[in-house]
Structure 1
Amino acid sequence: MKTSLTIRLSFMMFLEFFIWGAWFVTMGTYLSQTIAASDVQNAQAYGTQSLGAILAPFIIGLIADRYFAAQRILGALHLLGAALLFWITFQEDFSSFYPLILIYMILYMPTLALVNSVAFRQLADPEKEFARIRVWGTIGWILAGFVIGWFTWESQGLLVNTFRLAAVASAILGIFSFFLPETPPGSKGKDVSIADIIGTDALKLLKDRNYLIFFIASILICIPLAFYYQEANKFMNEIGVEQAAGKMAFGQVSEIVFMLLIPFFFRKFGVKVMLLIGMGAWTLRYILFGYGNAEDLMAFIYLGIILHGICYDFFFVTGQIYTEQRAGENIKSSAQGLITLATYGVGMYIGFIVAGQITEKFNLEVGHDWQQIWMYPAGIAAAVLLLFAVSFREKRVKS
Structure 2
Amino acid sequence: MSFFQFFVWGAWLITIANYWFGTKQWDGTQFGAVFATMGIASLFMPTLLGVIADRWVNAEKLYSLMHLLYGATLFYLPEVTDPQTFFYVMLLAMCFYMPTLALSNSISYTALTNGQYDLVKAFPPIRVWGTVGFIAAMWLVNLTGNKATAYQFYIAGAASFGLGLFALSLPKCPPRNINRQSQSLIQTLGLEAFRLFNNYKMALFFVFSMFLGGALQLTNAYGDVFLDEFKFYPKYIDSIVIQRSTIIMSISQISETLFILAIPFFLKRFGIKKVMLLSMLAWVLRFGLFAYGDPTTGLWMIILSCIVYGMAFDFFNISGSLFVETSTNSHIRSSAQGLFMMMTNGFGAVLGSLLSGWVIDEYFTIAFPNIASLAGYLQTDVDNGSLRHLIQERGISIFRDGSFSSDILLKDWHHIWLAFAGYTLVIAILFALFFKHKHDRVTN
Q: Which TM-score band applies after superposition, normalised by the shorter structure?
A: 0.7 to 0.9
Instruction: Give the greater-gyration-radius structure (CA).
Output: 2
- Residue 19 (structure 1) aligns with: 8
> 2:196 aligned with 1:205, yes or no?
no
- Give the Cα separation in 2 of the matches to 1:223 and 1:73: 27
**Structure 1 stretches lacking a partner, 5+ long:** 1-11
Give TM-score, length-normalised by structure 1: 0.85
**1:163 paired residue among 145, 153, 177:** 153
Q: Is the 8 A contact 1:61 1:197 kept in 2?
A: no
- Give the Cα separation in 2 of the matches to 1:26 and 1:133: 26
- Give the Cα separation in 1 of the matches to 2:263 and 2:173: 31
- Give the Cα separation in 1 of the matches to 2:56 and 2:269: 45
Judged with a 3 Å threshold, the aligned counterparts in structure 2 of structure 1 residues 200 and 22 are, in CA distance, closer, same or farther, namely: same
Listed as ranges, the matches of 1:75-86 within 5 Å are 75-86=64-75
Judged with a 3 Å threshold, the aligned counterparts in structure 2 of structure 1 residues 389 and 93 are, in CA distance, closer, same or farther, namely: same
Q: Bigger shift: 178-187 or 139-148?
A: 178-187
Q: Is the 8 A contact 2:50 2:335 kept in 1?
A: no
Q: Is the 8 A contact 2:54 2:190 kept in 1?
A: no
**1:103 paired residue among 92, 106, 118:** 92
> 2:212 aligned with 1:221, yes or no?
yes
> 2:116 aligned with 1:125, yes or no?
yes
Q: Bigger shift: 234-243 or 189-198?
A: 189-198
Identity %: 33
Listed as ranges, the matches of 1:264-279 within 5 Å are 264-279=265-280
Q: Is the 8 A contact 2:282 2:311 kept in 1?
A: yes
- Residue 7 (structure 1) aligns with: none
Judged with a 3 Å threshold, the aligned counterparts in structure 2 of structure 1 residues 67 and 307 are, in CA distance, closer, same or farther, namely: same
Q: Is the 8 A contact 1:201 1:334 kept in 2?
A: no
Q: Helix, strand or coil: the match of 1:196?
A: coil
- Give the Cα separation in 2 of the matches to 1:91 and 1:329: 42
Q: Is the 8 A contact 1:198 1:338 kept in 2?
A: no
Listed as ranges, the matches of 1:343-354 within 5 Å are 343-354=344-355
- Give the Cα separation in 1 of the matches to 2:360 and 2:136: 29
Structure 1 counterpart of 2:61, one-letter code: R
Q: Bigger shift: 314-323 or 351-360?
A: 314-323
Query: Deviations 1:240-266 (Å, cap 9, x if unpaired)?
Result: 422222222221221121122223233
- Give the Cα separation in 2 of the matches to 1:120 and 1:326: 13
- Residue 143 (structure 2) aligns with: 150
Query: Deviations 1:121-171 (Å, cap 9, x if unpaired)?
Result: 4441343554443322221111011112212334xxx43111011111112
Structure 1 counterpart of 2:127, one-letter code: R
- Residue 127 (structure 2) aligns with: 134
Q: Is the 8 A contact 2:255 2:308 kept in 1?
A: yes
Q: Helix, strand or coil: the match of 1:296?
A: coil
- Residue 31 (structure 2) aligns with: 42
Q: Could you say what the CA RMSD is over the residues aligned between the two structures, in angstroms? A: 2.9
- Give the Cα separation in 2 of the matches to 1:350 and 1:194: 32
Query: Deviations 1:85-114 (Å, cap 9, x if unpaired)?
Result: 111111122122111110111011122233
- Residue 363 (structure 1) aligns with: 365
Q: Helix, strand or coil: the match of 1:294?
A: coil
Structure 1 counterpart of 2:162, one-letter code: I
1:301, distance to aligned residue in structure 2 (A): 0.9
**2:227 paired residue among 230, 236, 254:** 236
- Give the Cα separation in 2 of the matches to 1:385 and 1:69: 39
Judged with a 3 Å threshold, the aligned counterparts in structure 2 of structure 1 residues 182 and 395 are, in CA distance, closer, same or farther, namely: closer
Listed as ranges, the matches of 1:313-392 within 5 Å are 313-323=314-324, 336-361=337-362, 362-364=364-366, 365-392=408-435
Structure 2 counterpart of 1:256, one-letter code: T
**Structure 2 stretches lacking a partner, 5+ long:** 232-240, 367-407
1:230, distance to aligned residue in structure 2 (A): 1.1
Q: Is the 8 A contact 1:65 1:188 kept in 2?
A: no
Q: Is the 8 A contact 2:196 2:203 kept in 1?
A: no
Q: Is the 8 A contact 1:53 1:341 kept in 2?
A: yes
- Give the Cα separation in 1 of the matches to 2:211 and 2:355: 11
Q: Is the 8 A contact 1:202 1:334 kept in 2?
A: no
- Residue 392 (structure 2) aligns with: none
**2:104 paired residue among 115, 127, 134:** 115
Q: Helix, strand or coil: the match of 1:89?
A: helix
Q: Is the 8 A contact 1:71 1:177 kept in 2?
A: yes
Q: Bigger shift: 338-347 or 15-24?
A: 338-347
Listed as ranges, the matches of 1:291-330 within 5 Å are 291-323=292-324
Structure 1 counterpart of 2:116, one-letter code: D
- Residue 168 (structure 2) aligns with: 178
Q: Bigger shift: 212-221 or 34-43?
A: 212-221
- Give the Cα separation in 2 of the matches to 1:214 and 1:72: 30
Q: Helix, strand or coil: the match of 2:43?
A: helix
Q: Bigger shift: 162-171 or 211-220?
A: 211-220
1:59, distance to aligned residue in structure 2 (A): 3.8
Judged with a 3 Å threshold, the aligned counterparts in structure 2 of structure 1 residues 83 and 346 are, in CA distance, closer, same or farther, namely: same
1:20, distance to aligned residue in structure 2 (A): 0.8
Q: Helix, strand or coil: the match of 1:178?
A: helix
- Residue 62 (structure 2) aligns with: 73
Q: Is the 8 A contact 1:227 1:352 kept in 2?
A: yes
Structure 1 counterpart of 2:193, one-letter code: G
Q: Is the 8 A contact 2:205 2:435 kept in 1?
A: yes
Judged with a 3 Å threshold, the aligned counterparts in structure 2 of structure 1 residues 178 and 189 are, in CA distance, closer, same or farther, namely: farther
